[in-house]
Homo-oligomer: A and B are copies of this chain.
Amino acid sequence: MILLDGKSLSKKIKSTLSKKVEKIVSLNYRAPHLVAILVGSNPASQTYVSAKEKACDEIGFNSSVIRLDENISQENLINKILEINLNNNIDGLIVQLPLPKHIDEYSIIESISIEKDVDGFHPMSLGKMVIGEPCFLPATQYGIITLIEENKIETNGKNCLVIGRSNIVGRPISILMSRNSKFANATVTLAHSRTKNIENLTKEADIIIVALGKANFLNKDMVKEGVVIIDVGTTRIKSNKTKSGWRVVGDVAFESVKQKSSYITPVPGGVGPMTIVSLLKNTMLSYERKNNLNL
């Protein structure tokens, strides 16, 4: 069993990015700049945004967090986004979700310039991804693909089961895994809440990507020997072993499944850190495109 260690891979990638930033700055250019918009005071959103800010600091990116009152009107939020779209000193813009209920998330995402859509959630980015045109890959999916590539996992012609059809995880990764590309080319099945007899599918799968949000859903009796497991789920459960009284677990019963796996991501420390680092990679890509650099 090989652990797909997102924590250590993301460190490696951050170090490469950091060296690029050093080079950029030494040439007297400005550093890449990622902006996050945070509306309201959702504690989980604050944690995510802080983690992104910290990651930017670590590698020398400029980062700004624009904190807006949770009563902001949709129009004013869009105006703020349009202002950032036009600001040539900003390379990437993310709007932390979820947004307050009076704001239509789709309208917000659609108003982000696709040149700065480093989250890859804009429909134009997704459409380009579907047809294989250059685009910002959504950060979680980009992270998964990078884990697969860096570990040289064979995916060509393999049966890949994606569990969960959300727009932000399951569906995009199902599309990417079946692309005609070296670390893709899998025969992909997308399972979801209406799927019957999921065990029949999990037992046949060479690669399973789970994004359900159901703690410990996948156990060892459901998988075959040698399976590759990518666990995107995160659920907070009570724990008397941590200071906070909580710990985060994935959709996979890790201790049980790891024995049968050839590769497996831990939770935490698997896909999570890869998501943040992919956001940084997209921001660097945006910077390089805008300035016609290839560092």
Mark A residues whose CB is within 8 Å of B. 106, 122-128, 130-133, 156-157, 165, 167, 171-172, 174-175, 178, 180, 185-196, 201
Q: Compute how far the CA of A131 lies from the CA of B123 in the bound complex, rounded to whole angstroms.
A: 8
Question: Does B165 lie within 8 Å of A192, measured CB to CB?
Answer: no
Closest to A125 in B: B127
8 smallest beta-carbon distances between A and B, as pairs:
A123-B127, A127-B127, A126-B127, A189-B189, A187-B195, A185-B194, A157-B194, A131-B167
Count the copies: 2
Q: Nearest residue in B to A123 (C-beta to C-beta)? A: B127
Given A127-B125, A131-B126, A165-B180, residue A191 in contact with residue B196 (CB < 8 A): no
Contact between B175 and A201 (Cβ–Cβ < 8 Å)?
Answer: no
A267 vs chain B, min Cβ distance (A): 25
Can you give 12 contacting A-B residue pairs, CB < 8 Å? A122-B127, A123-B127, A125-B127, A130-B167, A130-B171, A165-B178, A165-B180, A178-B192, A180-B193, A185-B194, A187-B190, A187-B191
10 other A-B residue contacts (CB within 8 Å) besides A127-B127, A180-B193: A106-B131, A123-B131, A125-B127, A127-B130, A130-B167, A130-B171, A131-B167, A157-B195, A157-B196, A187-B201
In whole Å, how far is A240's beta carbon from the nearest beta carbon of chain B? 38
Residues in B neighbouring A172, C-beta threshold 8 A: 130
A190 — which chain B residues lie within 8 A by C-beta? 174, 178, 187-189
**Cβ contacts under 8 Å, A157 to chain B:** 194-196
B167–A132 touching, CB < 8 Å: yes
- Given A124-B124, A130-B127, also A187-B180 (CB < 8 A): no
Distance in angstroms between the alpha carbons of A126 and B128 in the assembled complex? 8
Which residues from B are CB-within-8-Å of A186? 194
Instruction: Return chain B residues, CB-CB under 8 Å to A106.
Output: 131, 133
List the B side residues contacting A128 at CB < 8 Å.
123, 127
Q: Which residue of B lies closest to A191 (CB)?
A: B187
Q: How far is the CA of A125 from the CA of B106 in the complex (A)?
A: 14
Question: Which of A106, A123, A130, A188 counts the most chain B CB atoms within 10 A?
Answer: A123
Query: Chain B residues with Cβ under 8 A from A185's Cβ?
Result: 192, 194
The answer to whether A171 touches B165, judged by C-beta atoms less than 8 angstroms apart, is no
Q: How far is the CA of A140 from the CA of B193 in the complex (A)?
A: 27
* CB of A165 to closest CB in B, whole Å: 6
Question: Bound complex: CA of A192 vs CA of B192, how far in Å?
Answer: 22
